[in-house]
Amino acid sequence: MDIFDKYATVSGRHDELLKIGSDPFAVCFEEMYSSTEGRVNGRRTILVGTNNYMGITFDPECIEAACDAIKTFGTGTTGSRIANGTYGLHQALEEEIADFLGRRSAIVFSTGYQANLGMLAGLAGPKDTILMDSDSHSSMYDGCRLSGASVVRFRHNDPADLDRRLTRLGDDGGCRLVIVEGIYSMLGDRAPLREFVEVKKHHGAFLFVDEAHSLGVIGENGRGVAEEQGVEDEVDFVAGTFSKSLGSIGGYGASNHPKFDVLRFTSRPYMFTASPSPSNVASVLTALKRLRAEPERRQRLWNNARQLYDGLSGLGFEICAPMGPVIALKMPDEATAVQAWNLLLENGVYVNLALPPGTPNGACLLRCSLSAAHTAEQIDQVIERFGAVTAIIADQREMVAQAGE
Amino acid sequence: MAACGTEADFLDAKEIMSPNALNAYDEVLALLTRYNPNNIEISGETNLNSDLNIDSVSAMDLIMEIEDRFEIDIPINLVSDVQSVQDLVDVVKSRVEAA
C-alpha cells in the first residue's frame, strides 16, 4: 500500500478536470499589471475572482509604507508574538483595528485562516459546545477541531434551527459559542445577524462573527454586516482578514470582553507561529487608514457589483444570492462548470471555479468577486465574454434533453 | 468509534428497552435514500464515501437530518471515524441511549 492511495478518488477527479483544459487549481499570474489585470497563460486577463474588494494592492501609500517598514524593521520578525516577534508596528495595528471596530481589544494573527483557528481554538474548550452554521469556511471547521469542543452544525442562515438545536442540547454546564460569517465566501449571501442575536441572548450563548468578506465592504463605516444590521454590541467576538479589503496577508480577532487578551498566551495558532512581517503590517496599517478616509471606495465597489449583477442576470444566469460584491453563478454540472471556466480564461477573464465539497448543497459555481478598482469598461467586457458561456449551458441542456428522449 | 456491529446487536436486551434505538438501522436507511440516487443496495458494510459517494459535507448534512429525525444531537467531532452505514447506526444508537 502506498501512503497516497487514500487520495485515489480525488486524484482521479482532478485528472478528469485536466482533460477539459487548464488546471483550475494551479492558475499562475505570471505578471500583475494592476489590482484588476494580470497575465495568465501569456494572455492579458481581467481578474474577477481575487477578493480584492477595495482594489488597494497597488496603492502607492501602502507600497511606500511597506517599503519603509522593510528598510526600518527588516524583512521578517523571525519569531512569534510571545517571544521576539512583537514590534511597535504590531501593537500600532492592533490599536488601529480596535479603534476602527470600536472594540476594547484586537489581536493580530499571521493569516486570516489562523485568525479563525486561533479565535475558535482559544475561545472554546473540550467542555464547551460550538454551534456552527453549516456553510462556514474551512478555517472555522478546523478551528472547531483544534478547540476540542463538541461541534453541532445548524442549517445555514436559519435562526429557528439554531434555536431548536440549542434547546435540544440542554445544559451540561459548558459554554455555547455560536459561530457564523457576515458575508459567506462562496455564495455571497449574508447572515441574519439580528435574528441570531435574539437566539443567542435567549440561550445565554456567545456569538462569534467572521467578517472576512464583509470588512470594508458593508456597513456605514465598512465594519461589516454586524454594523449594517446595528448589532455590533451584541456580537461578542469578531474576526477578519487582511488579505481581502486590506490587500495584504494576516488576520485579526477583536472583542469587548475584559478577559479577551488571555488568548495571547492560550491560543496556539497565535503563540506558535512567526508574527506577520513588518512590511505586511505596515501596509495593512496604511490600508486601514485609507479605507477609513475614503468611503467612496465602498460606493464604487457596490456600483461595480450592481453593473455585473445586472449584466449577468440579463444573460439569464442563475445567481445564488442577492446583489453584492460576490456573485456566484450556478452551473448545471461539474463538466459544464469546468468547460465554462476554461472558456472564460481563454477569453481573458479569470473567475473562481468552485466545486463540491467546497460549496454548499453540492453546487458547481463560477464565482466572481468585484473590486472598487474595476472600471465600467472592464465589467462590460466581462459581461460580453460571459455571453459565450450561455451557449455552453444551452448545449448541455440540449444534450440532457436528448438523452431523456 | 465502535467496530462494525452485527445483527445480534439489534437484539441486545438494552436496546429493546429503547424503540428508537431498535429502529435506528431502518430509519438511517430511509434517510439515506436521498443520498443514493443510483439505488445501490445498502447493507451495514456499505461505505458512505467509496460506495455511496457521500462527501464530507454531505455526510454532515445527513447527520443534521438524523439529529432531527431522532431529536438528538450528534456532535460532528464524534463522527469523524464513521465510514460504514453500521458505524453511523452505532453512533445514532449510542446517542439515542445517552439522550
Predicted pLDDT at A368: 98
Please tell me the total number of residues recorded for chain B in this structure.
Answer: 99
Predicted pLDDT at B12: 47
Over residues B68-78, the mean pLDDT reads 92
Chain B CB contacts of A160 under 8 Å are none
Measure in Å the smallest separation between the Cα of A338 and chain B Cα atoms.
19
* Interface contact A152-B75, CB threshold 8 A: yes
**CA nearest neighbour of A55 among A213, A249, A183, A245:** A245
Predicted pLDDT at B21: 67
Higher pLDDT, A97 or B37: A97
Q: Which of A134, A356, A362 is nearest residue B64 as measured by Cβ atoms?
A: A134
Strands A176-181 and A237-241: unpaired
User: Could you tell me if A108 and A97 are in contact, meaning their C-beta atoms sit under 8 angstroms apart?
Assistant: yes
Higher pLDDT, B19 or A216: A216
Assess whether pLDDT exceeds 60 at residue B14.
no
Assess whether pLDDT exceeds 50 at residue B19.
no
Over residues B58-75, the mean pLDDT reads 93
Residues contacting residue B54 through CB under 8 Å, at least 6 positions apart: B35, B48, B62
DSSP letter at A233? G
Q: Which of B49, B58, B73 is nearest residue A152 as measured by Cβ atoms?
A: B73
* Interface contact A357-B58, CB threshold 8 A: yes
Coil/strand/helix, residue A198:
helix
Coil/strand/helix, residue A44:
strand
Predicted pLDDT at B5: 40
Query: What is the DSSP secondary-structure string of chain B?
Result: -PPP--HHHHT-HHHHT-HHHHTHHHHHHHHHGGG-TT-----TT-BTTTTT---HHHHHHHHHHHHHHHT----GGGSTT--BHHHHHHHHHHHHHH-
Predicted pLDDT at B16: 43
C-alpha cell at A175: 459554554
Distances (CA, A) of A63 to A70, A247, A275, A283: 11, 10, 20, 7
Chain B CB contacts of A149 under 8 Å are 77
Q: Which of B67, B72, B77 is nearest residue A151 as measured by Cβ atoms?
A: B77
| Distance between CA atoms of residues A268 and B85, nearest Å | 36
Q: Read off the amino acid at residue A198.
A: E
| Distance between CA atoms of residues A302 and A220, nearest Å | 13
HSE of A348 in the Cβ direction (CA atoms, 13 Å)?
A: 16
Q: B36, exposed or middle or buried, with CB in 10 Å at 0-12, 13-18, 19+?
A: middle
* Interface contact A153-B58, CB threshold 8 A: no
Q: Which of B55, B71, B73 is nearest residue A356 as measured by Cβ atoms?
A: B55
Predicted pLDDT at B20: 64
C-alpha cell at A167: 434547546
Distances (CA, A) of A393 to A138, A333, A337: 30, 10, 9
User: Could you tell me if A38 and A201 are in contact, meaning their C-beta atoms sit under 8 angstroms apart?
Assistant: no
Helix or strand holding residue A113 (H, E):
helix A112-123
DSSP letter at A124? -
* Interface contact A153-B55, CB threshold 8 A: no
Q: How many CB atoms lie within 10 A of CB A167?
A: 11
Helix or strand holding residue A251 (H, E):
strand A251-255
* Interface contact B57-A356, CB threshold 8 A: yes
- Interchain contact A150–B (C-beta under 8 A): yes
Distances (CA, A) of A287 to A97, A116, A214, A222, A353: 11, 21, 15, 13, 28
* Interface contact B76-A151, CB threshold 8 A: yes
Predicted pLDDT at B32: 93
Predicted pLDDT at A114: 98
Please tell me the total number of residues recorded for chain A in this structure.
Answer: 405
Coil/strand/helix, residue A388:
helix
- Interchain contact A155–B (C-beta under 8 A): yes
In this prediction, what percent of chain B has a pLDDT beyond 70?
79
Q: How many CB atoms lie within 10 A of CB A381?
A: 15
**Model pTM score:** 0.93
Predicted pLDDT at A192: 98
Q: Running along chain A, 405 residues long, what does each successive block of 10 average in pLDDT?
A: 92 92 94 98 97 98 98 98 97 98 98 98 98 97 97 97 96 96 97 98 98 98 98 98 98 98 97 98 98 96 98 96 97 93 96 93 95 98 94 83 78
| Distance between CA atoms of residues A219 and A59, nearest Å | 23
Coil/strand/helix, residue A12:
helix
Over residues B52-71, the mean pLDDT reads 91
Chain B CB contacts of A357 under 8 Å are 55-58
| Distance between CA atoms of residues A36 and A48, nearest Å | 7
